[in-house]
A and B are shown apart, each in its own frame.
Chain A
Amino acid sequence: MTGGKARGGRAFLRGVGGVFSVPGLVLSASFFGFGAFARESGLDLAQTVFMGGIFALPGQVVLADEMATGAGLAAAFIAVTLTAVRLLPMTVALVPVIRDERTPLWQQLVLSHLVAVTVWVMALRELPQMPRPARVPFLAGLGTGLLPTVLAFAAAGHVIAGAVPGPLAAGLMFLTPIYFLLSMVAAARERLDGMAIGTGLALGPIFYVYAPGFDLLLTGLVGGSLAYGLSRWLRR
């Protein structure tokens, strides 16, 4: 039992060390960019850090954008929840890898807060190589290290963005879209994902011009359905 606890402690510390991995650094840089974006959207520092705790960048950026444009609570909820639906299949895929037969449900529910593209990719790559009892403490450690770190970076992004002049500030804000695009392409599992990225990129600006306020929902529904229909048609 003591040996098990010691192993669990080591796994926890290894998880904390994940802050210094490449995905950890990309995530930190992206939260820095989010902090800058949130400031441009009119959020104050406390709101920005609180929002960072959601730990899902696409939803955070959508929410900051919805709040900046004065959308209502229901509209904001629908827009954000649509970006978060993707977390359902990701969680479903990850949970069987994380738990063993004795892992209590509440631990799985708490750890599920970490499910986001970057951590998900990292966990699916690293966890299968670990003994099962080490996986829950590893993820707990990863969350314990990563959450405060990215929140600190979001705060830094919010504070520094105002003091940084022109080109560098533009570069900070550019972190968010380029990270989303590349990590989405990197996480693409099949042709459908690539096609949905394509239709979304093409339709997003069009709907923004012709249906501002509903543009993200329309882009998702129309672009996603188009890509889905096309992929089914191509499969025949």
Chain B
Amino acid sequence: MIYSGEVWPFIVILVAGFLATDLWRWLGVLTAQRIDESSELLRWVRAVSTALVAGLVARIVLFPVGAMALAPLSGRVGAVAVGFLVFILVRRNVFAGILAGEAVLVALTVAASGQLF
């Protein structure tokens, strides 16, 4: 297993995490005066990264690992739908959407699993 050992995971986080992320922040600072934020290349780049994160959201919800697998499919998808709906209805309030989605998920998980807290 490549990630066993004491130091290696931290090196992975440092290189594939910090460096891979801050690279773009530093590049952003350095090019702040020259780059055109509405350029077509950056629009495409933003679309690619947005789709990537959205894909991750769908995967976490549809193919859950660990504790979230306890929630039934209807609970996970329903929680996203209700959370999104409340978010839209409450003037695009992220916090309200999260609360509503969480309420649905926890309630349906309790109902499906028979487990209480």
Interface residues of A (CB under 8 A from B): 22, 25-26, 29, 36, 40-41, 43, 47, 50-51, 53-54, 56, 58-63, 65-67, 70, 72-73, 76-77, 80-96, 105, 108-109, 112-113, 115, 161, 165-186, 192-193, 195-205, 207-208, 215-217, 219-228, 231
Contacting pair A228 B44 (CB below 8 A):
yes
Tell me what chain A mostly uses at the interface: helix, strand, loop, or mixed. Answer: helix
- Can you name 17 extra interface pairs (CB under 8 A) apart from A63-B13, A109-B26, A112-B28? A40-B65, A50-B10, A63-B12, A66-B16, A70-B1, A85-B48, A115-B25, A167-B115, A178-B97, A181-B84, A186-B87, A208-B55, A208-B59, A215-B59, A223-B47, A225-B44, A227-B51
The 7 closest A-B pairs by CB, nearest first: A91-B28, A204-B55, A200-B54, A220-B52, A224-B48, A219-B55, A223-B51
Max chain A C-beta neighbours (<10 A), residue from B13, B49, B52, B94: B52
Contacting pair A63 B16 (CB below 8 A):
yes
Nearest CB in chain B: distance from A187 CB, A: 9
Contacting pair B24 A204 (CB below 8 A):
no
- Which of A47, A60, A113 interacts with B22 by CB under 8 Å? A113
Q: A26-B95, A70-B3 are in contact. Are A224 and B106 (CB under 8 A)?
A: no
